[in-house]
Amino acid sequence: MSTSKTELKDLGKFKLIDLLTENFKTKKKSSTYGIGDDAAVIDAGIYYTLVTTDMFVEGVHFDLTYAPLKHVGYKSVVANIADITAMNGTIEQITVSIAISNRFTLEALQELYQGIYTACERYEIDLVGGDTTSSPAGLVISITAIGKVAKEKLCLRSGAKPYDLVCVTGDLGAAYIGLQVLNREKKLFEVDPNMQPQLVPYQYLIERQLKPEARADIIQLFEKLKLLPTSMIDISDGLASELLHLSKASNVGFTIHEDKLPIDRLTYETTEALHLSPTLCALHGGEDYELLFTISQADLPKIEGNPNIHLIGYITEPTQGLKLVTNSGESVNVTAQGWEPL
């Protein structure tokens, strides 16, 4: 046993994963791609099986003072769907494991599973297994998703090429701002338990935080448009963090434009009211579960005018790094400050 002591807080999530897995090489012929993408890719003969897993911890990923258990269940499934979607795949099954302290009742867990079942219904997924155990404190949910993708349609993080175009779906930053609104109301409530939370005007933001959706619809759109992204990732930790993942995996640089970042009007107005920068929220706010992908320039006509897809920049040589061209025309470096609970 080593006597040196490296504190985890000095590492961050991705460095820790790198250090824990650096010496491990896959050996099975069926393990086509292992660690390093949104999902593992297993050769199932005719198609690829996709496997991804996410863990959600009370007090880290969700706060039961404002997140109803039904939404916690729903969102846990959605996060996994987003990972399968990011491989251009379709989710088929999930397993759900929970560790629960004795402060939870059967009725509380039935609410949690109601949310899980609602997501299964909405996204046509089967719950096929899991584990249930006790925990000394709090709730931990671990979900594994199994999906599939036709071999020729698989999208990895590593396929982006210089001069490809960079796209995102939907809008960014709303889930993060939703969380700020919820935290603000929680603090006010702690000071004055008689206050009525002012949540109605922020409904869209709060829904994006508590009950997000995954963009399985976009995979169907790609199919219809006969569009195959050159690389793809889901935006769970923040746009900047995901761009850096693509950049590292594809060995390319990125230039994105501040004025192209899709920000919903309510997000924009609320960031201003909270004295936050809408651009920084769009870049670094996590949990939007939108898709970030790159396409070759020849495919531009396929997405032009589509309200679901926004062109935000283009790929450069790796030496260029990750640049943001601001509204004032300056080019600044972007670094990851993503949502990394560790």
Q: Which is nearer to its own copies, 96 or 282 (CB)?
A: 96
Q: Which is nearer to its own copies, 57 or 225 (CB)?
A: 57
AA letter at 120:
C
Identify any residues that bridge with 55 across adjacent strands, giving them in sequence order.
Answer: 142
Give the integer Cα–Cα distance in Å for 179 and 186: 10
Buried b (16+ CB within 10 A) or exposed e, 17-53: eeeeeeeeeeeeeeebbeeebbbbbbeeeebbbbebb
CB of 21 to its own copies, least distance (A): 7
Contact string (CB under 8 A) for its own copies, positions 111-150, x = contact = x-x---x--x---xxxxxxxxxxxxxxx-x-x-x-x----
Residues 55-84 that bind its own copies (CB under 8 A): 55-61
Burial of 340 from C-beta contacts in 10 A (0-12 / 13-18 / 19+): middle
Give the integer Cα–Cα distance in Å for 341 and 271: 22
CB of 8 to its own copies, least distance (A): 6
Q: Which is nearer to its own copies, 146 or 256 (CB)?
A: 146
Residues 7-46 that bind its own copies (CB under 8 A): 7-9, 11, 13, 16-17, 19-21, 23-24, 26-28, 30-31, 33-35, 39-40, 42, 44-46
Output the CA angle 38-207-181, nearest 5 degrees.
105
Count of residues of this chain found to bind its own copies when the rule CB under 8 A is applied: 83
Handedness of CA 91, 94, 100, 106 (dihedral sign): positive
Residues 81-110 that bind its own copies (CB under 8 A): 92-93, 95, 97-100, 102, 104-107, 109-110
Q: Which is nearer to its own copies, 142 or 158 (CB)?
A: 142
Residues 188-217 that bind its own copies (CB under 8 A): none
